[in-house]
Amino acid sequence: MDTKSAKANENEVVYGIGELLGMARERAVPVVRAIPEEALAAPTPCAEYDVKTLVNHVFQVVVQFQRLAAKEASDFTETPDRVGAGADWRERLADEIDKLVAAWSVPGAEEGVTGAMSMPARLVGSMALLDLTVHVWDLARATGREYRLGEVAAPVVEQLAGAVDELAPTARKMGVFGDPVPVAEGASAFERLLARTGRDPHWKG
């Protein structure tokens, strides 16, 4: 490695998962708060989910990944209907997202391993980041809202690109990711990320 490359690596900023989740939160919460009741039955880019079931899935992910940050056992066997539990579901979900950011911001949260498969904790945190980013994009597309990460959140896309590389083979076997979708030559890094998870970046309901 030459001196210039070494200095570039020394100056490279490594963001914590909590910081990255905080960036994703700033884009997720406005989308969640803007979901109208009449859109809950609308289709989403995830063919198996309508808006309501996807919101409930995001709720479950956000709650269970708080437990994984604390190296506690998680339970994804059932997805409670938190949307149906009260009209304040948007604020309840926003509160849980805040708790997720806090949980992964605790010193040591991304060290070691966590979860039933004893995966590296930082990769598990990246899975939470992926859901909070990509599924919120799904919700934005389903409800006709814009979702732009922008340059400020470029580290989120960078972290997720590496995580998707690592997760994709298993995720495709399990049906979590679809086959990659072709994108135009000038596609953004985020559009390419979406396409690698099997999503059409230009999906319309």
Q: What is the mean pLDDT of residues 26-30?
A: 95
pLDDT confidence of residue 127: 95
Please choose, from the candidates 6, 33, 5, the residue with its C-alpha nearest in 3D space to the C-alpha of residue 139.
33
pLDDT confidence of residue 108: 97
Q: What is the mean pLDDT of residues 64-89?
A: 97
Quick one: which H or E segment has residue 120?
strand 119-120
Residue 116 CA from chain centroid, whole number: 20
pLDDT confidence of residue 10: 58
**Cα atoms in the Cβ-side hemisphere of radius 13 Å centred on 76:** 11
Q: Among 24-38, 52-66, 74-88, 178-192, where is mean pLDDT lowest?
A: 178-192
pLDDT confidence of residue 70: 97
pLDDT confidence of residue 11: 64
pLDDT digits (tens, 9 = 90+) for 139-185: 999 999 988 877 778 999 999 999 998 998 888 877 788 888 999 98
Predicted confidence (pLDDT) at residue 5 exceeds the cutoff of 60: no
Of residues 198 and 171, more confidence is placed in 198
Contact 47, 142 (CB under 8 A): no
Predicted confidence (pLDDT) at residue 1 exceeds the cutoff of 70: no
Reading the block at residue 117, the tokens are: 């498969």
pLDDT confidence of residue 178: 83
pLDDT confidence of residue 9: 53
Contact 27, 58 (CB under 8 A): no
Name residue 119's beta-bridge partners.
114
pLDDT digits (tens, 9 = 90+) for 79-138: 999 999 999 999 999 999 999 999 999 999 999 999 998 999 999 999 999 999 999 999
Residue 61: pLDDT band (50, 70, 90) is: very high
Contact 140, 31 (CB under 8 A): yes
**Within 10 A of 109 (CB to CB), how many other CB atoms are there?**
22
- List of residues 6+ apart from 9 with CB closer than 8 A: 1
Q: Is the pTM of this model over 0.75?
A: yes
Q: Cα separation of 62 and 56, whole Å?
A: 10
Sequence length of the chain is 205
